[in-house]
Amino acid sequence: MTLLERLKADAAPQWAAYTNHDFVRQLGDASLPQECFRHYLVQDYLFLIQFARAYALGVYKSPTLDDMRQSLEGVKAILDVELDLHVGLCGSWGMSRVDIETAPEDTPTMAYTRFVLDAGMSGDLLDLQVALAPCVIGYAEIGARLHADGADHAENPYRLWIGEYAGDAYQTVAREFTSWLDRTADQVLTENRYPRVLSIFEKACRLESDFWQMGLDAGN
């Protein structure tokens, strides 16, 4: 069993609440109110800026050059691909880059991103990776599941989002991240340390659920 498989099994309630959240279900069946998706997109853009900083922190925390390169690839994937995707999506909803970048961060956005940065600052590379894992791996799992269910059909206004995370490029990112996590765990994880690692993973999953809920609440 890989570390990720073990974490998902031991944090099954938190993982299920995150990956099967009502926001995800409504996104898949196209019933999600557009104002909820727009609010989510803006906050996710701000979220990714902080995640780029977390990957940059990973460069500093990396014990090897290979780890540094892997962290750098995470920075580049966000800055060169994901942020532009969000700008394009937001543009289709009538929002400019300036509108997005000057928007205030909601509390759930701040809570999650600062938690990840704190995990990395106070811990080592494994702590940081585990804090990042629910986002990186969860979005790949959600995208693949929605695609398999046929949710990215032409009538779904959220098909481009689904396609991004179901696509080969992002699925490759998730697989490489999982392998990187396992390599780090092989080097530094002990049974005595595992409860701390699990706690980080559980908290990150709960914060992901809060992030989805923030999007849903924007429609109220």
pLDDT tens column, 41-70: 999 999 999 999 999 999 999 999 999 999
Residue 23 lies in a domain: no
What average pLDDT does range 5-10 have in this prediction?
Answer: 98
pTM here is 0.94
3-state secondary structure the chain: CCHHHHHHHHCHHHHHHHHCCHHHHHHHCCCCCHHHHHHHHHHHHHHHHHHHHHHHHHHHHCCCHHHHHHHHHHHHHHHHHHHHHHHHHHHHCCCCHHHHHCCCCCHHHHHHHHHHHHHHHHCCHHHHHHHHHHHHHHHHHHHHHHHHCCCCCCCCCCHHHHHHHHCHHHHHHHHHHHHHHHHHHHHHCCCCCHHHHHHHHHHHHHHHHHHHHHHHHCCC
What average pLDDT does range 177-192 have in this prediction?
Answer: 96
- Per the CB < 8 A criterion, the answer to whether 58 and 130 are in contact is no
What average pLDDT does range 128-135 have in this prediction?
Answer: 97
- Residues in Cβ contact with 199 at an 8 Å cutoff, skipping those fewer than 6 apart: none
- Range of the structural domain that residue 213 is part of: 34-217
> What share of the chain in percent tops pLDDT 70?
100
- Find the CATH number of the domain harbouring 106: 1.20.910.10
Q: Is pLDDT at 219 greater than 80 in this prediction?
A: no
**Count of domains forming the chain:** 1
Q: Is pLDDT at 149 greater than 80 in this prediction?
A: yes
Residue 10 lies in a domain: no
Rounded (10°) CA dihedral 192, 127, 170, 157: 110
Of the pLDDT bands very low, low, confident and very high (cuts 50, 70, 90), residue 99 is: confident
Residue 26 lies in a domain: no
Residue 11 lies in a domain: no
Q: Is pLDDT at 2 greater than 80 in this prediction?
A: yes
Of the pLDDT bands very low, low, confident and very high (cuts 50, 70, 90), residue 155 is: very high
Q: Is pLDDT at 72 greater than 80 in this prediction?
A: yes
pLDDT of residue 220: 73
Residue 79 lies in a domain: yes
Residue 197 lies in a domain: yes
pLDDT of residue 153: 94
Catalytic machinery residues: 135, 208
Residue 151 lies in a domain: yes
Tokens representing 37 are: 């998706």
d(CA 18, CA 103): 25
